Structure formats: C-alpha cells, structure tokens
Structure 1
Amino acid sequence: MMEQTTYFEDYEIGAGRTTFGRTITETDFIVHAGHTGDFFPHHMDVEFMKASEFGQRIAHGTMVFAIGVGLTANVVNPVAFSYGYDRLRFIKPVFIGDTIKTKTTISAKEDDPKRPRHGRVIERVEVINQRGEVVLATDHIYIVERRPEK
C-alpha cells in the first residue's frame, strides 16, 4: 500500500484508473454468506438456481461491491476520507469463475457545505467483468482537504 497526499485542488475531472482483476470463487460466496447471514438460495442453492433465468448461482451484490471497492484500496490519501456512496446499482449478475476489475473516474468536485476547508470529490466507480460489461456502478464521495494557504 502506498501513501499519496492529494489535495482537493489536485483532483482532475476525467482522471481515473483501472485495477487488476480478481476471479470470484465459491469460497467467496460461502465466506460472504457467513459474514452477512445472507444465505438466500440465489447465492447458495445450485438446484434452485438451475431453474432461474441465470441457470446458476449469482454473487451477492454486496459482495461484488465490497470486492470491487477493495480492489481500489491500494493508495492511502492522508488528507481525504470516504463520505459514502450514492446511486449504487447491481447492473448484471456475477457468477463463480467471473473475473472482475474496477474502473474509477473523477466525475465531479464541489464545495462541502459543512466543512469550508474541505471539498467533495465524486468518483464514478464501475465494476467490470471479463467481457467488459459493467456489473456494478456507484458514486463514491470523498471529503478532501483543500491545499493549506501559505
């Protein structure tokens, strides 16, 4: 993990990055179900899902979100913190054996009405499968310090 100080003024709209991929496994399904208590048959019952439109188990949306966001967590910015996520959507199903990666793009910057020495940076987050399809999208909001006055 790397530390990189990036002040509000340093963020550029349109800048972004794409992570490495991560293949989803059956173990991911089991561990996530155990952590969350979500043992719905959509994720855990092979026979139940054979008769569905998907023909197989689908990943928990919350698991795809957690892994997708986790893939981006390789740079620590000591002057920023996460304020939360807006407009979270599970667009396409993810299956065991799919490989996902995450693309982030700075989509907006705005003043923070509660903190005059900070701004809000909105980062569009798209989790993409091995076929290039967006499977999850959300907006990540950061609270970021403004550059100190000299």
Structure 2
Amino acid sequence: MRFKVGDRASYTQTLSEAHVALFVGAVGDTNPLHVDEAYAQRSRFGRRIAQGILVAGLISTVIGTRLPGVGAIYLSQSLRFLKPTYLGDTITATAVVKAVREREKGGLVLTLDTFCENQRGERVIEGEAVVLYEEPEGGKP
C-alpha cells in the first residue's frame, strides 16, 4: 500500500454521556468540568465538556483504522486544544498525509496533519502525528 501527500481520511462520532463515563472508568479523570453538571454550569463553559484527550482519541481511530490503518503505530502526536467539546457535539477527526518517508529497516514513516472539527465546522483540536506504518503480513487482515 502506498500513500501520497494529500491523502486524507476521517471518522465521525457524537460524544455522549456514555463516552465520558467510559473514559472516566478507563483513566480516572473525574474533573468536575466533565462529570458534575452543577459545577460545570458555574464554569466559563456553562455546561459539561468532554475531556480533551477523549476527543483527541478520535484521531487515533482514524490512524489505526483508516489512514494508514492496520499496521500503524504512533511515534508522536502534538495537540492544540482550540475550543471545548460539549456532550452531544458531533466530532469529525481527520488525518491528512503531509510527508512520507521510507525506512531503511522497512516500512514507512508518515507525517500527518490531524484535526477535529465539531458539527459547526469549528476546529476544536489540531496537531501533527508521526506514524510508523508496516504492511501487515499477508496484506490486510
């Protein structure tokens, strides 16, 4: 499988109470901005927000399942959190190939522009990922 600059893929998901609850159970982030409506209403956000890393995790879904897909391993990911994501927001995570380099030991290193946008087309996160890609043995699973 070959990749070229400009290739892109996306994944869309609406973030719900269940996503936040599962994330809290998985990592323990019980910040009241995420779990306490009364507290969040008194904050600058006016209501509960999803954890930024939960939202950024949608980028991982793109990388692991779509571009480059199975065989991808993160080497790095930078993130800038631009706007809050509220429960009920529909987020589209996108990765765009910025550079491709072949490795001497085999496989490819891809540099990807990454970003998440809400249903209004507003960027909530942007960054850059560097990913090692090795074609799965026998091709795609």
TM-score (norm 2): 0.81
**1:102 offset after TM fit, Å?**
1.5
Deviations 1:79-108, CA, capped at 9 Å, x for gaps: x43133321222211011100112211011
Alpha carbons 2:82, 2:126 under 8 Å: kept: yes
The letter of the residue matching 2:47 is Q
CA distance in 2, matches of 1:81, 1:145: 7
**1:58 offset after TM fit, Å?**
1.0
Q: Residue 137 of structure 1 corresponds to which residue in structure 2?
A: 126
In the TM superposition, what are the counterparts of 1:97-136 in structure 2 within 5 Å?
97-110=88-101, 112=103, 115-136=104-125
Q: Residue 8 of structure 2 corresponds to which residue in structure 1?
A: 16
The structure that has the greater radius of gyration is: 1
Q: Residue 44 of structure 2 corresponds to which residue in structure 1?
A: 53
Q: Which of these residues, 54, 67, 85, is aligned with residue 63 of structure 1?
A: 54
CA distance in 1, matches of 2:9, 2:96: 7
Q: CA RMSD in A?
A: 2.3
Asked if 1:29 corresponds to 2:20, the answer is yes
Q: Percent identity over the alignment?
A: 26
CA distance in 2, matches of 1:48, 1:117: 51
Alpha carbons 1:71, 1:101 under 8 Å: kept: no
Change (3 A) 1:96 1:77: closer
The letter of the residue matching 1:12 is K
CA distance in 1, matches of 2:43, 2:129: 32
The letter of the residue matching 1:86 is Q
Alpha carbons 2:62, 2:94 under 8 Å: kept: no
CA distance in 2, matches of 1:124, 1:41: 31
Change (3 A) 1:25 1:83: closer
CA distance in 2, matches of 1:128, 1:102: 7
Q: When the two structures are aligned, how many residues end up with a matched partner?
A: 134
